[in-house]
Amino acid sequence: MHRRNFLHGSIAAAGLAAATQQALIAAADGPRKRVGLIGSGWYGKVDLLRLIQVAPVDVVSLCDVDSQMLNNAADIVASRQESKKRPRLYGDYRQMLAEKDLDVVIIGTPDHWHALNMIEAVKSGADVYVQKPTGVDVIESQAMVAAARKYERVVQVGTQRRSTPHLIEARDKVVREGLLGNIGYAEVCCYYAMRSTENPAPRDPPAHLDYDMWVGPAPMTEFCGMQHPRKWRAFMEYSNGIMGDMCVHMYDMVRWMLGLGWPQRISSSGGVLVQKGVRANTPDTQTATFEHEDLDVVWNHRSWGAAPDPDYPWAAFIYGDKGTLKLDVHKYEFIPHRGRGKKLSGKALFEYDKYPEDETEKDLERHVASAVRGHMLDLLANIETRGRPVADIEQAHISSASCILANLAMQLERTLEWDPQAHRVVGDDEANQLLARPYRQPWIHPDPDQV
């Protein structure tokens, strides 16, 4: 298919604005973007394969510390991209980026690698799509924003609720139309049984995994088979727990829908209350309050027990004096107060007619595929205009750092008042000491003033 026709089809599917359409058409008529992927596991492939679906790109480089996973990804990419070429393979992202021949870099590594990967990618001259959360501590997340601005790179973060078709519809038809009335409160939550309850014994890493490189700047833990693949979020050494994994999505969505910036104060309580005696050290129960002017956004998670609303186990609820809006990745519902108005609802967009491979792709969250495609199209359009994408690194930093601060508030057992201009907790030296965690040698923690 001709590139212009291909992009026209994608534009029609996404219902994009006229300026975005023109930018994408200009991109289609230009040279193919050269793309590299760092982290070829689950969501690295999900993101990369959605990009291949919506744009004429050449995937030329893949990087992973797991050679088996890397070779598997190379086979899949060769089968899916137009050229059928197998990408170059790397075990060290620095070697891949040293080539300085990539237009776009996608980062799908575990959370503790996001900052170093993204900063080095923008230094190499690439625009970037990086998974959420932006970092595992506040300062490295701040450094990511500084690097994007210093090197004038477009950076889209994988908080793709902002590109989810049915959630865009809910924002436009409910929130922007004022159907909620005066909005005074929002809840976000996750009640998935997603925290690992395994307790495996330590063992040697497999021969195909460079475990020292996998750990990188994070604290070293005994390998037990849970760190890799996909279960690393069981450890606070490599993630921010369910708060950094699931809250960041829903809190970011509420901020986007309601136009909220930084919270003024953050408090949190919880811990490992039920699922004890296992390898996982992330909280199984947590409540956090993000205080904005005239509006609190409250988070709750439990990885045990039942959800209060079984139809919305991972969701957001926005309350106004004229109605309630329920939102998740599958659907939305607007319920007017006391029946004074019309109920509205919408569901996730599936596009099997245009992208039949979605039905058979291993491990794909099918209800999210259209959102990732929209996120990629938004990235591409802003690469052409050099604008700020919908999930620009600065917006993602606010959501990610707020979740990190919630974890710190729980650890310190006190409310934190945040000064976004100074990027400091007001009057709390102990909290400020925790904004950057120590890096394992020889890795060096990024400095926002010296990226």
Q: Could you tell me if 257 and 374 lie in one domain?
A: no
Shared-domain flag, residues 259 and 407: yes
Average pLDDT estimate for 390-415? 98
| pLDDT for res 15 | 60
The verdict on 70 and 156 lying in the same domain is yes
Which one-letter amino acid corresponds to residue 172? D
Question: Does the structure show a pLDDT above 80 at 2?
Answer: no
Q: Domain total for the chain?
A: 2
Q: Are residues 317 and 385 in the same domain?
A: no
Using the Cα atoms of residue 128, residue 234, residue 208 and residue 212 in order, give the sign of their dihedral.
Answer: positive
- Average of per-residue pLDDT across 432-450: 98
* Region of poorest pLDDT, from 15-19, 107-111, 175-179, 258-262: 15-19
* 3 confidence band (pLDDT: 50, 70, 90): very low
- Averaged pLDDT for residues 37-59: 97
The answer to whether 163 touches 371, Cβ cutoff 8 Å, is yes
| Position with higher pLDDT, 17 vs 281 | 281
Do you know the residue count of the chain?
451
Bridge partner residues of 425 (DSSP): 418
Residues 229 and 342 in one domain: yes
Q: Name the burial class of residue 306, with classes exposed (0-12), middle (13-18) and buried (19+) by CB atoms within 10 angstroms of its CB.
A: exposed
Does 441 fall in a domain? no
Going by pLDDT thresholds of 50, 70 and 90, the confidence category of residue 422 is: very high
What single letter denotes the amino acid at residue 349? L
pLDDT higher than threshold 80 for residue 210:
yes
Which is nearest to 345 in space by CA: 182, 174, 189?
Answer: 174
Cis bond leading into 283, ω under 30°?
A: no
Residue corresponding to tokens 């050494």: 237
Residue 439 lies in a domain: no
What is residue 29's predicted lDDT score, i.e. its pLDDT? 74
What CATH number does the domain containing 36 carry? 3.40.50.720
The one-letter amino acid at 372:
V
Condensed to tens digits (0 to 9), the pLDDT of residues 85-106 reads: 999 999 999 999 999 999 999 9
Residue 30's pLDDT band, with cuts at 50, 70 and 90, is confident
Co-location of 100 and 223 in the same domain:
no
Where does 326-368 have alpha helices with state H? none
Rounded to 10°, the helix 393-412/138-150 angle is: 170
Are 164 and 374 in contact, with CB atoms under 8 Å apart? yes
What pLDDT is attached to residue 440?
98
Tens of pLDDT, residue by residue over 283-326, are 999 999 999 998 999 999 999 999 999 999 999 999 999 999 99
**Is the distance from CB of 287 to CB of 300 less than 8 angstroms?**
yes
- The pTM of the full predicted model, rounded to 2 decimals, is 0.95
Predicted local distance difference test score (pLDDT) of residue 6 = 46
Separation between Cα atoms, residue 27 and residue 378, nearest integer Å = 12
Q: Would residue 73 count as lying in a domain?
A: yes
In angstroms, the CA 178 to CA 185 distance is: 15
447 within a domain of the structure (yes/no)? no
Question: What are 424's strand-pairing partners?
Answer: 419
Looking at the structure, do residues 235 and 384 belong to the same domain, yes or no? no
Gap between the Cα atoms of 284 and 379, Å rounded: 35
For residue 9, pLDDT over 60 is answered with: no
Tokens of 294: 């005239």
What's the whole-number average pLDDT of the chain?
95
Token duo for residue 258: 């309601």
140 shares its domain with 278: no
Does 327 reside within a domain? yes
Distance between CA atoms of residues 331 and 312, nearest Å: 9
Confidence band for 28, pLDDT divided at 50, 70 and 90: confident
Q: Residue 25 has what pLDDT?
A: 74
What would the mean pLDDT of 75-92 be, rounded to a whole number? 97
| Residue 19 in this model has a pLDDT that exceeds 90 | no
Q: Are residues 427 and 316 in the same domain?
A: yes
Q: What is the DSSP string of 288-332?
A: EEEEETTEEEEEEEESSS--SSTT-SEEEEEEESSEEEEE-SSEE
Together in a domain, 187 and 281: yes
Structure confidence at residue 172 as a pLDDT band (50, 70, 90):
very high
Q: Is residue 107 part of a domain?
A: yes
Structure tokens at 164: 């989810």
* Domain encompassing residue 29: 3-162+356-392
Specify whether the CB–CB gap between 157 and 393 falls below 8 A.
Answer: yes
Q: What sign does the CA torsion over 213, 217, 222, 228 have?
A: negative
